[in-house]
Amino acid sequence: MTDDLMKSSGSGDAGNSTHADEQRLYPKVRFRGFDEPWKKVKLGEISEKITQKNNNSCSQFPVLTNSAEYGIVYQKDFFDKNIAINTDNYYVVHTEDFVYNPRISKQAPYGPIRVNHLKTGVMSPLYYIFKIKDDFNIGFFEFLFIGNKWHKFMYQNGDSGARSDRYAIKDKVFNKLPIYIPQKIEEQKLIFEINHKINSLLYLQQRKLELEKQLKFFLFQNAIPSKEAVIFKPKIRFREFQDKWKYAKLSEIYNTDCSGGTPSVKNKTFYGGNIPFLTISDLNNKKIYKTQKTLSKKGLENSSAKLVPAGSISLAMYASVGKIGILSKEMATSQAFFNMTFDDDEKRDFIYIILEKANFDKEWIRLISTGTQNNLNAKKIRNFHIVFPTYKALKGLNKLFCNIDTDIDIQYKVIVTTNQLKQFLLQNLFI
């Protein structure tokens, strides 16, 4: 379908008009075969407000809620319980009705407008509910309201209200919201269809990502034996590796360890050099390639910050306890990290898997719950017991987990790219 999209040529498409109003009647990107200008209308001209009340508190209609992230969902499912007690004054919401929720969030700075794809339900009178007239394609408006083309009007005509978590705009004003619509219903349908295809693709990609993660978690539980097992043999394994695993302390596997310190924040000359300085927020991927902060040579020399060699594993002892990363180059770290160096990359990569499994099994959480502070200490980490296979089995497991991690990374990137395409269309398919 994307082959049918084309960039409009701006003034050329507008018949070489020099008027700004006429220019605005053409989207930047549209489907081939459609050259006529769009028409500008007000929301109140193409919709009707829903005012039907639920006057029977024993109604069988379920209570719905409008979520910025998930759209319109059943309130019981969203909150894991029924929040509404008396729904006598709630509005009745039918399938394909639109709902404006004035509650603001990071995802919806002016509140979300979503369409009801569920069966008939009831919703809070705080919501504004409306129905698009039959002359238009519902899906076109669903896609439009997911974007931010209508935000400027809200910013100019409403306010945050008495409550900071809600956006206040009067119904009469809201109905003046300007909307640009293709004159032909066929173009409206095509815009809906491309949105539907992208959403379906994103769902399938997200599902594939979840299955990849589930496979990894399954291997955590079955390809690595439990430390509590009587015989250290995994439930599933490579046929050629039948040896028992050994019981060991973490400190018996790595080569050396160290922590570090934080230079004085008051001395600005300690920062801004060319020495990467690791912080908790940098531990977002397996390999750490860059840091948000850097130290100067003076800052390193006049503090207890430690230089840690490339290839080391850094484990967070404070804040996000258990977060881990492998340093791609030499970096300085603070006292928030326990850093392990290895004389063998295969052992290092396997220990990374073991530490990932420890996070999955919440072992670090159990360790810090036995202390007086919510952090780990070097002694606990050094004495952390693991099970360790033969070297050949270790290499096989490393390759297996590496392949799974690669697939997961690829899937993340595919989802990001697809979301970028969706955002591009939201910005350019609409006026």
| Of the options 3.90.220.20, 1.10.357.10, 3.40.50.300, 3.90.1570.10, the CATH number for the domain spanning 39-181 | 3.90.220.20
Please state the rounded mean pLDDT for residues 278-307: 91
Query: Which residues, other chains included, contact 301 with Cβ-Cβ below 8 Å and sequence gap of 6+?
Result: none
* Whether pLDDT at 157 is above 70: yes
Cα gap 221→353, rounded to integer Å? 12
Domain parsing of the chain, residue ranges: 39-181, 246-388
pLDDT of 18 reads 46
pTM over 0.85: no
| Per-residue pLDDT tens digits for 199-232 | 999 999 999 999 999 999 999 999 998 877 656 6
The mean of the pLDDT values for the chain is 88
Q: Do domains 39-181 and 246-388 have the same CATH topology?
A: yes
- Can you tell me the distance from the alpha carbon of 29 to that of 9, in angstroms, rounded to the nearest whole number? 9
Collapsed DSSP state (helix, strand, coil) of residue 274: strand
* Token pair belonging to 101: 């929720």
Exposure string (b/e) for 326-362, b if CB count within 10 Å is 16 or more?
bbeeebbbbebbbbbbbeeeebbbbbbbbbbbbbeee
3-class DSSP state for residue 262?
A: coil
SS3 395: helix
**246-388 under CATH 3.90.220.20, yes or no:** yes
Q: What percent of the chain has pLDDT over 90?
A: 67
Q: CA–CA separation, 86 vs 89, rounded Å?
A: 8
Q: Which pLDDT belongs to residue 320?
A: 86
The answer to whether the beta carbons of residues 63 and 87 sit under 8 Å apart is yes
Residue 79's pLDDT is: 79
Among 239-243, 308-312, 314-318, which stretch is predicted with the lowest mean pLDDT? 239-243
Model pLDDT, residue 40: 95
Residue 23 has pLDDT above 80, yes or no: no
Q: What is the pLDDT of residue 93?
A: 95
